[in-house]
C-alpha cells in the first residue's frame, strides 16, 4: 500500500479513505479473508449515511469485484447484512438476497454457507410494525454470507468448536450406560464413536452472540474523552469466529468498512495480520482505543494528539490486545472510578509511569 496508515500495530494497519480507492492498492490474490459489515439499506439513517435499497446492489458491486480480485484462491469473503423493511410498508426488502445473487451470478463467488447472526439483545424494531401495531416479530437476525473464490476455501470448524450440551457431556462420561448405538429413523447410523470427546461440539450456522459490549476500553475511553462511539459496531465475537475458522496465524484479514476496527482488534488478538479501511477519520481515530487497554488517560490523550496529524503513521508498540479481558478490566476500572478524585488522579499518573517503564517508545511521524 502506498497510502500511509493512520496507525499501525505489530500486525496491522488502519487507513482512512474510500475503500474503493484503497482496494486498488492491494495486490491481486494477496488476502486470506475479507470480513466486513457495510452500511445496510436501512430506512432509519445512520450518521455515516446509508444507501437506498433500490440502489444498493449497484452501489456495492464495485467493492465486491475488487474483493474478488484481491482474495487468494483459498480465500473467503464474509458479508454481514442486516435485514430491512421497504419504505412505509410492513414488507421486507430483498436487498441482502439480491446482493447474494449478484455476488454468485455476476462476480463469480461461491456461496460456501449462509450464516445467521442472532442478537438476542437487539431492541424491537421497526417501531411502527413491531412496537406500535404489533403485526411483525422483532427482527433480531442478520444474514451473514460466507462467500468463497473457489468451491473449497480454507476452513476448519475444529477451530471453532462450541461447548458440549449437558446431555452430550453425560454421554461422553459414560457412553455404555447412556446410549445404545443404533440406526435413527432418519437412516443415520449413529455408532459408538459418537460418544468420543472431540474437545467440543460442531458449531451450527446460527451464531447466537448478544451485542452488549459495555466494558471495553473502546467504550470507556470514548466516554471519558467525550468522543462519539461508532453507532453500528458488531460484537468482537462475530469476526473472531470467522477469523479462527477461515485463517491461520499470520494470514491477512481485511475489513473494507472498518468503523471502529472491531475486525482489526479481533485479528490482532488472534495473531493474524490485518488491514482496515474506513472513510470516516473520526471513527478510525477513536478505534485506536481498542489497543490501549490499561493505559493512563494522559497517555491516551498523547496518542490522540499524534493522530490529529493527517496520515499520522503512528506505530503502536507492545499493545495489550486480549479477546477475553473486558470483564476483568471493567472490575479494575470500577475500583479506580470509586476512588476520590485526587487519589484517582494519582492512580492514573502511576499508570502513566508504569507505562513509561514497561513500553518501548512510540515512533510517530
Ligand atoms: C456498519 S459500519 C461498520 C462497523 C464495524 N463493523 C464496527 O464494528 O465498528 C459501516 C462503516 O462503513 C463506512 N463506510 C461507508 N462507505 C465507505 C467507503 N466507501 N469506504 C470506507 N468506509 C466506508 C462507514 O463510515 C461506517 O463506519
Look at residue 332 and tell me whether its pLDDT is greater than 70. no
Can you give the pLDDT at residue 355?
A: 34
Ligand 1 site-directed mutation target among 46, 258, 276, 285, most atoms within 8 Å of CB:
258
Q: Which helix (H) or strand (E) holds 355?
A: helix 341-358
What would be the CATH architecture of the domain defined by 7-157+206-338? 3-Layer(aba) Sandwich (3.40)
How many angstroms separate the CA atoms of 74 and 71, rounded? 8
Look at residue 111 and tell me whether its pLDDT is greater than 50. yes
From the candidates 37, 93, 148, 326, give the one annotated as an active-site residue.
37
pLDDT one-digit tens code per residue, 1-48: 899 999 999 999 999 999 999 999 999 999 999 999 999 876 566 666
Ligand 1 site-directed mutation target among 6, 39, 42, most atoms within 8 Å of CB:
39
Q: Establish whether 338 is a catalytic residue.
A: no
User: What is the per-residue burial (b if ≥16 Cβ within 10 Å, else e) of 103-140?
Assistant: beeebebbebeebebebeebeebbeebbeeeeebeebb
CB 263 within 8 A of CB 286: no
How many angstroms separate the CA atoms of 17 and 2, rounded? 13
Q: Establish whether 80 is a catalytic residue.
A: yes
In this prediction, residues 326-335 reach a mean pLDDT of 51
**DSSP code of residue 76:** E
Ligand 1, residue 260: give the atom nearest the CA: 9
Please name the residue whose Cα sits nearest to atom 14 of ligand 1. Answer: 257
Q: Which helix (H) or strand (E) holds 333?
A: helix 326-338
Residues contacting ligand 1 via CB (< 6 Å): 18-20, 37-39, 48, 230, 232-234, 257, 259-260, 262, 277-280, 283
Domain extents in the chain: 7-157+206-338, 166-195
How many angstroms separate the CA atoms of 41 and 51, rounded? 5
Q: CA torsion 67→69→74→79, rounded to 10°?
A: 10
Rounded (10°) angle between helices 341-358 and 326-338: 130
Ligand 1, residue 277: give the atom nearest the CA: 21
- pTM here is 0.86
pLDDT one-digit tens code per residue, 273-305: 999 999 999 999 999 999 998 888 998 999 999
34 C-alpha vs ligand 1 centroid, how far in Å?
A: 14
* E-only strand ranges, the chain: 7-8, 12-16, 31-36, 71-82, 110-118, 141-148, 182-183, 189-190, 206-208, 252-255, 273-278, 314-315
Amino acid at each position: 500500500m502506498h497510502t500511509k496508515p493512520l496507525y499501525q500495530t505489530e500486525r496491522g494497519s488502519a487507513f482512512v479513505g474510500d475503500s474503493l480507492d484503497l482496494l486498488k492498492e492491494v495486490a491481486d490474490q494477496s488476502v486470506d479473508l475479507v470480513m466486513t459489515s457495510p452500511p445496510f439499506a436501512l430506512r432509519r439513517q445512520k450518521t455515516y449515511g446509508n444507501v437506498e435499497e433500490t440502489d444498493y446492489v449497484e452501489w456495492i458491486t464495485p467493492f465486491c469485484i475488487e474483493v474478488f480480485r484481491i482474495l487468494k484462491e483459498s480465500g473467503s469473503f464474509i458479508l454481514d447484512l442486516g435485514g430491512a423493511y421497504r419504505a412505509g410498508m410492513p414488507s421486507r426488502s430483498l436487498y441482502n438476497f439480491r446482493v447474494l445473487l449478484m455476488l454468485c451470478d455476476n462476480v463469480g463467488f461461491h456461496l460456501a454457507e449462509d450464516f445467521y447472526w442472532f442478537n438476542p439483545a437487539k431492541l424491537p424494531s421497526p417501531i411502527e410494525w413491531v412496537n406500535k401495531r404489533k403485526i411483525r416479530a422483532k427482527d433480531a437476525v442478520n444474514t451473514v454470507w460466507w462467500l468463497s473464490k473457489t468451491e473449497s476455501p480454507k476452513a476448519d470448524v475444529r477451530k471453532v468448536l462450541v461447548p458440549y450440551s449437558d446431555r452430550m457431556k453425560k454421554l461422553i462420561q459414560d457412553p455404555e450406560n447412556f446410549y445404545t448405538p443404533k440406526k435413527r429413523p432418519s437412516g443415520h447410523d449413529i455408532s459408538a464413536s459418537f460418544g468420543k470427546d472431540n474437545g467440543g461440539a460442531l458449531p451450527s450456522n446460527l451464531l447466537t452472540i448478544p451485542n452488549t459490549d459495555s466494558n471495553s476500553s473502546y467504550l470507556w475511553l470514548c466516554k471519558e474523552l467525550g468522543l462519539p462511539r461508532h453507532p453500528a459496531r458488531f460484537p468482537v465475537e462475530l469476526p473472531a469466529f470467522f477469523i479462527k475458522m477461515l485463517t491461520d496465524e499470520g494470514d491477512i484479514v481485511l475489513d473494507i468498512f472498518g468503523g471502529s476496527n472491531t475486525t482489526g482488534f479481533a485479528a490482532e488478538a488472534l495473531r493474524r495480520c490485518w488491514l482496515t479501511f474506513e472513510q470516516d477519520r473520526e471513527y478510525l481515530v477513536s478505534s485506536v482505543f481498542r489497543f490501549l487497554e490499561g493505559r493512563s488517560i494522559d497517555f491516551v490523550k498523547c496518542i490522540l494528539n499524534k493522530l490529529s496529524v493527517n496520515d499520522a503513521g503512528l506505530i503502536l508498540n507492545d499493545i495489550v490486545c486480549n479477546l477475553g479481558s473486558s470483564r476483568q478490566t471493567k472490575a479494575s476500572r470500577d475500583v479506580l472510578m470509586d476512588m476520590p478524585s485526587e487519589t484517582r488522579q494519582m492512580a492514573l499518573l502511576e499508570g502513566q509511569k508504569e507505562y513509561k517503564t514497561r513500553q518501548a517508545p512510540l515512533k510517530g511521524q
